[in-house]
Amino acid sequence: MNPDLTSLTLEQKAALLSGRDFWSTKEIPEAGIPSIVLTDGPHGIRRQTGGSDHLGINAAEPSTCFPPAVAVGSSWDPEIARQVGAAVGREALAFGVSVVLGPGVNIKRSPLCGRNFEYYSEDPLLSGVLGAAHVAAMQEVGPGASVKHFAANNQEHERMRISSDVDERTLREIYLPAFERVVTEAQPATVMASYNKINGVYASQNPWLLTDVLRTEWGFAGAVVSDWGAVSDRVAAVAAGMDLEMPGSGGSTDQQIVDAVRSGRLDESVLDEAVRRVVQLARLPHTASGELDVEGHHALARTLAADSIVLLKNEQATLPLGAPSRIAVVGAFAVEPRFQGGGSSHINATRTDAALDSIREHAGARGIGVEYAPGFVLADAEGAEQHRREAVSVASGAGVAIVFAGLSDREESEGFDRTTLSLPGAQIAVIREVAAVAERTVVVLSNGGVVSLEGWHDEVDAIVEGWLLGQAGGSAIADVLFGVVNPSGHLAETIPLRLQDNPSWNNFPGEQGHVRYGEGVMVGYRHYETAAQPVRYPFGYGLSYTTFETGDLRVETTGSDTAAVTVTVTNTGAVAGKHVVQLYVSTTAGPVRRAARELRAFTKVRLEPGESRTVEFALDRRAFAYWDIESAGWVVPAGDYAIQIGEDVSRIVAEQTITLAGDIRVRPLTLESAVGEWFAHPVVGPVLMQGLSAGMTDEQRKHSEKNPDELKMVESMPMRQFLAFTGGAFPPEALEQLMQLSRASAVAV
């Protein structure tokens, strides 16, 4: 298809930059430009054919609900993300959808964010790798992706007008890298501009974000689409690089563009580029093809969900379940599964698996009896005491009691943030009372964001973090409980002891229209590890039914700022299992504060009992770099770097230190440069010291030798001000010569 853009009128071009309706773009048949459909993802297709909305209120066609990003993040497995992306792509084709909105790669800055279920992790590398895998696989199938929400969209509170006030180093190191990786590695068809402002400028009309960074630096060639209703100034948005406004505005904003071009406020060439990018979306498949593989995709959803479950606690080998005399199942979530989040990504699932049904199936095959009590009912607070008594009665004398607890749509959803990490009080009471009477107690959690385990953690024998697992989650949980699947999930976000320990706590969710990202780069585990703040379970944590050993770590530098790493992993247990190899880098090199360690590479390997495998990592310069605000670029300081292999971020099991030459940074000096910079300059410093020494008396020289730290008192003082204290010790002409010398020896980063 080669549409003729030269024949389009100004009005037609402007019209192409906004939706025809809620989910589709405008068509111009005479120019060969068809309408295409964009619809919600990312873990399933929400194809509405009746009333349209962006809140998940109105009905949609049945489709498969795959594990949401909160679960996929804990898989630490790009293959899981790829399979979700490809399957969602196949269903998009069946529905005639050209662009699927997702995945979301925003960082989990606070565990309270109501939309954390739709994001992968608190770490940008993990989020970026999984997001890129999802996008690449889906686009190989045919439909385009819309990676979202660009950028610094880390809360639901006041999301349509809040200003995320964040410094550039933090943006570059934490909140932009996942988007950067998806854009540069997977070339998504679109990027979705978020609702919020960034440092006072709406993302949808932010030229630095959409043009300077996204297009010029990262080379993005696709279209930028607004989040639904995110455009406040249509002309400013087009000028900034925002192409497609969704949903349609009935033509009012189209006319604003026409008027701006005719008045000279908007160059028509800018409009033409936006039109070209929107029209190229019409090259994507836009007619329905293929059929929905209901059974096959449900089975796939079950497999993917099982590999995303995290086993947090397992005392006395309570799991996998052997042959207990009787199993007591307690909790409404066992029969009313919470398997997805609320809001725009809410899928009308083709079917749902209740955990109780799957537990009974597994138990029946083993001759084990199962009894059930609700324990609590999600919509009924009045009968709490009666439900609790029934649960205690069923659990009394049971070999194992399995309590299903978690959060309902009322506690977490798109559109609002949580105010607490705690489970509802009725659920905590049930957990504690059941644990007091059952021989052993297992708690299975269903939640889109981290919940507190305090107040009951030590009273139970095993904890399974099930997150939101998609429509087959109930069966997947039973598969793990009975050992059909060996759990291999690892935490993609920290579980703190207290909400107040989270680094964003003092600033989240902001006030008076602003949220200050005061913790800077110390987000999530970066803060906890650097501050030595105890947590309940650290980032990267996850148990297995087998054991693994790591050894033979070898690290070699491959350049001034790169390295190659190999490490051998062995399954030392009795069953096959998957292990996540986590590589962290730790350094104090450079002029900025660095986190105690940062995730720089990972891979997931499957090993049979006794099997060993050597894995390789290639660390590029970004693995060692920080964003330098003075030079506006990535810098690798010369110095020592510890390459660490961790069972999780807190348990390092192998380590080797290398020394990198890094970047040579010699900048020209001025009178505004600090005294410390003058004396530390590799060329000027020795000359300056020699001249200073030559002008000293013997007594002054002896005093200086005895007190070498006296210079520290004035190191931060600008040279211009320092001169007033020297009594003419540095003649202006001598300083000018030294500044010329520094300019001649300057080396760019």
Question: Which residues are identified as catalytic?
Answer: 227
DSSP 450-512: ----TTTGGG-SEEEE-----TTHHHHHHHHHTTSS------SS-EES-GGGSTTTTTSS-BT
Pairing of strands 626-628, 633-635: antiparallel
Among candidates 142, 146, 344, 162, which has minimal Cα distance to 244? 146
Tokens of 648: 């999780």
Preceding peptide of 509 cis, ω within 30°: yes
Enter the tokens of residue 67: 């594990």
CA neighbours within 13 Å on the CB side: how many for 131?
Answer: 35
Burial class (CB in 10 A: 0-12, 13-18, 19+), 201: middle
CB neighbours of 531 closer than 8 A, spacing ≥ 6? Answer: 522
User: Strands across the sheet with 639-646, in order?
Assistant: 598-607, 577-586, 639-646, 652-660
Question: Which residues, in sequence order, are bridge partners of residue 465?
Answer: 310, 445
Q: Give the Cα separation of 438 and 385 in Å (integer).
A: 18
- Reference 267, options 233, 241, 231; nearest CA is 241
- Cα–Cα dist 677/726, whole Å: 17
**Residues 6 or more apart from 428 whose CB is under 8 A from it?**
422, 455, 456
DSSP sequence for 77-128:
-HHHHHHHHHHHHHHHHHHT-SEEEEEE-----STT-TTGGGS--SSHHHHH
- Inter-axis angle of helices 124-141 and 78-95, nearest 10: 40
Helices (H), 482-595: 525-530
Give 34-78 as a DSSP string: ---BEEE-SSS-B--SSS--SSS-S----B--PPPHHHHHHHT-H
How far is 598 from 561, CA to CA, in rounded Å? 16
Q: What angle do CA 622, 626, 631 make, to 5 degrees?
A: 110
Amino acid at 451: V
**Burial zone of 255 (CB within 10 Å; 0-12 exposed, 13-18 middle, 19+ buried):** middle
59 CB neighbour count, 10 Å cutoff = 12
